[in-house]
Homo-oligomer: A and B are copies of this chain.
Amino acid sequence: MPRRLLFVTGTRADFGKIEPLARAARDAGFPVTFFVTGMHMLDRYGLTKLEVHRTPGVGVHEFLNQRPGDPQDMVLAKTVMGFSDYVTEHPPDLVIVHGDRVEALATVLVTATNYIRSAHIEGGEVSGTIDEVFRHCNTKLATCHFVSSEDAARRVMALGEPRESIHVIGSPELDFHAQGSGVSLDDVRRRYDIPFADYGVAVFHPVTSEAGSMGAQAEALFGALDASGRNFVIIAPNNDPGSEAIFGVIGRLPPERFRVIPSMRFSHFSELMRNAALMVGNSSAGVREAPFLGVPSLDVGTRQTNRAAAPSIHRTAAGDRSGVAAFLEDQWGKTYPRHTGFGEGSAAERFVSVLTDDAFWTAPLQKEFRDLG
């Protein structure tokens, strides 16, 4: 009987990561089900569970795990109960969780206490928030690890995990970029009404712990973009605390040179990135996708600190207007060789090749702490 895989997804962001893995596993003959919970289930976050339902050939189980105002520990407790009941009724052979959110932690707590095999995607990364702590707990609770880089693998080993339980597959979202996007730049410009062909991409999200200064930070960044006279496509910030101030600054930019787009289909975003003159801001796309696509990027402020390094990535402090100006001046239109520090865009293929090895399924569930050198 084929091994049943259960993927846990709580947000659009983690679904973007695990979807390529799930599709590849499905195509390799594994029965695949998604346990859909978290923000996916909530109207005010776009009811993104609908995207999961659009995946062909997979099962979907929905679980609403929260209401507005629920503290995070209550969400954790409810998710533990709901997921435990679910895997009791529908026992999977492998549960796959991603990242650092409370839903991943809740479900991997259930697998660990019920001796169900589990895999954690993108362990070993650092961010300096409570979420990072959850990420490392997930590492300790998971049976095995699919990480995005050698750096991450080393950190997972520092946490005591056996080398043989760690698989470096690269960052799964690069798989999209490695394949052709399937659309042309003209398609993208038409669909999203982008009047110019020579453009930079700017994405600037709020940093929760710096919410008070986000207006000034946005002023400095977008002021420098405006002063350059260049064209930019801006992807709107997420709605963490501080976002209003950023929206305020963006709203005053001249629309003929700044096209603001709330959100984009992934294929179109990939094509947009591929053809950009450069990228600025503080999204993970700047430190992951941009170097992979060879596009110069400027990482502004602290949001991606310690996340990645590559020759095409430049950095500047939040509020450093002249640093932004200098980057625009120097790097506009440059291209770099593909950076593969976060993989070669073949994460799904590597993931499946691990799963099709029988040894994977017979590795012990109990782990022994491995002291490093």
Contact = CB atoms under 8 A, between A and B. Distances in A.
A78 B79 CA distance: 12
A205 interface: no
Contacts of A114: 71-73
A367 B126 CA distance: 11
A168 B81 CA distance: 37
A82 interface: yes
A351 to B, nearest CB: 23
Nearest to A67: B88
A66 B77 CA distance: 14
A301 interface: no
Nearest to A373: B372
Nearest to A72: B113
A133 B159 contact: no
Interface in A359-373: 366-369, 371-372
A155 B160 CA distance: 8
B82 A80 contact: no
A64 B77 contact: no
A56 B94 CA distance: 34
Interface residue range, chain A: 35 or more
Contact of A128 (B67, B110, B137, B366): B366
A128 to B, nearest CB: 5
A87 to B, nearest CB: 10
Interface string A327-371: 000000000000000000000000000000000000000111101
* Count of this chain's copies in the oligomeric assembly: 4
Contacts of A72: 113-114
A136 interface: yes
B76 A109 contact: yes
A181 to B, nearest CB: 34
A265 to B, nearest CB: 26
B81 A158 contact: no
Contact of A112 (B112, B130, B368): B130
A62 B64 contact: no
A90 B41 CA distance: 11
A86 interface: yes
A12 B76 CA distance: 28
A264 to B, nearest CB: 27
A69 interface: yes
Contact of A89 (B64, B86, B369): B64
A82 B69 CA distance: 15
A41 B88 CA distance: 12
Interface of A: 41-43, 61-69, 71-74, 76-78, 80-82, 84-86, 88-90, 102, 109-110, 112-114, 126, 128-130, 132-133, 136-137, 140-141, 154-155, 158-160, 209, 366-369, 371-372
10 contacts: A42-B89, A61-B62, A63-B64, A64-B86, A73-B81, A73-B114, A76-B80, A82-B82, A126-B369, A128-B368
